[in-house]
Amino acid sequence: MTISMYNASIPTFIRGLNNLSAILTKAAVFAEAKKIEPTVIINSRLAPDMFPLSRQIQITTDVVKGGAARLASVDVPSFPDNEASFPELQERIKKTINFLQTIDIKQIDGSEKKTINLKVGGRDLSFEGLSYLFNFVIPNFYFHITTTYAILRHNGLDIGKADFLGNS
């Protein structure tokens, strides 16, 4: 059985980012209703040594745009990591979705054996495309979306599993 690298990645990433956007919309409404300064939530973290919500979203978008670009052999778009408001974070998610929508199935399918080299945290990493997608990109994507969800939940946002999963 052959796997479609495109179908295992791009639609999943777009769906997850759309769900993340919906959760952020709820967070903005929550902050306003509770009279919480939005930066309090945006700078919240689960533990002192973890990244804040804003950085979780930046990493989420970085990992999928980088993953898609490397598998498709196109330049990785660069976004400055300077978002400090809900609208700015929403715009980053939107730009990432727009980029992902430019990737064609023919650009990614067949990349299972492609060599992917990257530097992460000062370390040089090398993967074959299939391993890169399933053992690096997808786990990182879900880790950072889940951490964003957990930060929001920890701050009192009334969200649940259905918000995380979105519409089927």
pLDDT tens digits, 105-128: 999 999 999 999 999 889 999 999
* pLDDT, tens digit (0-9, with 9 covering 90-100), for 18-49: 999 999 999 999 999 999 999 999 999 999 99
Write down the architecture of domain 10-163 according to CATH.
Answer: Up-down Bundle (1.20)
Phi then psi dihedrals of residue 2, to 5 deg: -100, 140
How far CA 62 is from CA of 40, 59, 100, 133, 165, in Å, comes to 23, 5, 11, 14, 21
* pLDDT, tens digit (0-9, with 9 covering 90-100), for 54-108: 999 999 999 999 999 999 999 999 999 999 999 999 999 999 999 999 999 999 9
Binned at pLDDT 50, 70 and 90, residue 162 comes out as confident
Tell me the residue type at 82: N
* pTM summary value: 0.94
Binned at pLDDT 50, 70 and 90, residue 53 comes out as very high
**pLDDT value of residue 123:** 93
**pLDDT value of residue 168:** 57
User: Residue 11 and residue 3: Cα distance in Å, rounded?
Assistant: 14
The structure tokens 């391993």 sit at 131
Domain ranges of the chain: 10-163
Give the DSSP letter string of 44-96: --SSTTSPPHHHHHHHHHHHHHHHHHHHHTSPPP---S---SHHHHHHHHHHH
**pLDDT value of residue 61:** 98
Phi then psi dihedrals of residue 124, to 5 deg: -85, 125
> Has residue 1 got a pLDDT over 60?
no
**pLDDT value of residue 167:** 75
* Mean pLDDT of all residues in 148-152: 97
